[in-house]
Amino acid sequence: MNITADRQPTLPPVVKQYYTFAEPPAEQVLESGARLGPITLAYETYGALNTAKDNAILVAHAFSGDSHAAGNYPTDAEGEKPGWWDFMIGPGRGIDTNKYFVVCPNILGSCMGSTGPSSLNPATGSPYGLDFPMMTIGDIVTTQKMLIDHLGIQRLHGVIGGSVGGMQVLQWCVGYPEMVRSGVAIASTMRHSALAIAFNEIARQSIMADPNWKKGKYYGGNKPDMGLAVARMVGHVTYLSDEAMRRKFGRKLQNKETFSFGFDGDFQIESYLRHQGSKFVNRFDANSVLYITKASDYFDVVEPMGKIEDRDGKNHEITKYLVVSYTSDWLYPTYQAKELVKTLKRSGQDVSFCEIEADCGHDAFLIPDQRLTTLIRGFFDGLA
């Protein structure tokens, strides 16, 4: 008998935690050669780490996500929205917290508790802005490894993530294969296509064209809300599918019976995108969008994924992979997932692949789906 997520036992109240490291003069050296420190990562944990410390799963969030992957905070009002993957993480769920210790860190460069361009630069006492050094997905994963080391975990039972989170999964497998027992990449890619880079550049240009952006020095004044809202609208379109928009909106008008014959939001889809844009400016930082999109554009593990080997030269247990794609995802379409699978197989890796039929587009992995839940539960629980 299937038990829906909302009828399953829930997590106890969760608490956001912080880890600070790379204190000067021992700053972290980024791939660009720049030095950054101190660095703070916000993170949350669910479940308990066992005595052997071998039951940990790292959950990597997508582009605009955060460390709040599941559960509710003690201070949440009744009905407060839980974490972004609450249907997947918890007692008896796909990632069962009765079995696994789950860690979800907020990525470097974000504005949701971790060090990023909106953080105070200790050298000036003001927000970094564009003085924040350019970072990569590799730099993001390096900071996550520092957190995992801090928690005393030598090997992860698994690393899992969707979209940009999936990029982090692949980077973990490339950079620290000896630490990863399994990797699950969902709706992701080994590198951005020209199409994905193009949409990210439109988003960045919309922010930088806003007169309030002021070359990133808008903190303490008017923010580039219009540019950021447009950037979010552009991104949101790529997360949906033609079928999903047709089914939900079609050409239906918004609270009217005829056209305005002007530039009001006549259609429901226009109103929806404007709403998504306005919501985003209240919770995210424009400069973080610039840095995270650029990091994802730089990401390219096609060559290293084809020759994964243990960095210390020792014979470790081989990493097992699960690659998941969606039929209606046109941002990271199935052909890119299949390229990843072929690359892993050519290098002798143990990889499973599943394409899930869904008409809701790239964001399908964020929507409750028993098929994905069952797939992930079976994969993690079935590791020999």
Q: pLDDT (tens digit, 9 = 90+) per residue, 325-375? A: 999 999 999 999 999 999 999 988 999 999 999 999 999 999 999 999 999
CA end-to-end distance (rounded Å), the chain: 26
188 is catalytic: no
DSSP annotation of 168: H
329 carries an active-site annotation: yes
CB 111 within 8 Å of CB 284: yes
Whether 79 has a pLDDT exceeding 80, the answer reads: no
Confidence of residue 262 (pLDDT cuts 50, 70, 90): confident
Enumerate domains of the chain plus CATH numbers: 5-191+300-381 (3.40.50.1820), 198-288 (1.10.1740.110)
Give the mean pLDDT of 94-121. 98
Q: What is the CA radius of gyration of the chain?
A: 21
pLDDT of residue 10: 87
**What does the alpha-carbon distance between residue 286 and residue 88 come to, in Å, rounded to a whole number?**
29
Q: Kindly state the helix (H) or strand (E) to which residue 356 belongs, with its residue range.
A: strand 350-356
**Cα–Cα dist 181/383, whole Å:** 9
**pLDDT, tens digit, for every residue of 301-334?**
999 988 775 444 555 568 999 999 999 999 999 9
The mean of the pLDDT values for the chain is 94
- Which range among 1-5, 20-24, 65-69 shows the weakest confidence by mean pLDDT? 1-5
Active-site residue, selected from the candidate residues 163, 241, 296, 325? 163
User: For 23-63, what is each residue's pLDDT tens digit?
Assistant: 999 999 999 999 999 999 999 999 999 999 999 999 999 99
Q: Residue 150 catalytic?
A: no
DSSP 249: T
d(CA 25, CA 378): 45
3 state DSSP class of 147: helix
pLDDT tier for residue 5 given thresholds of 50, 70 and 90: very low
Model's pTM, two decimal places?
0.95
SS3 125: coil
Residue 78 has pLDDT above 80, yes or no: no
Question: Are 252 and 268 in contact, with CB atoms under 8 Å apart?
Answer: yes
The token pair at 254 is 């918004």
What whole-number distance in Å separates Cα of residue 379 and Cα of residue 160? 11
From the candidates 225, 266, 285, 329, which is the catalytic residue? Answer: 329
Find all residues with CB under 8 Å of 101, minimum gap 6, and list them: 45, 46, 47, 48, 49, 50, 55, 56, 57
* Residue 193 token pair: 């296509």
Catalytic residue, from 96, 362, 363, 369: name it: 362
- How many beta carbons lie within 10 A of that of residue 79, not counting itself? 6
Distance set, CA 214 to CA 46, 130, 211 (Å):
40, 10, 6
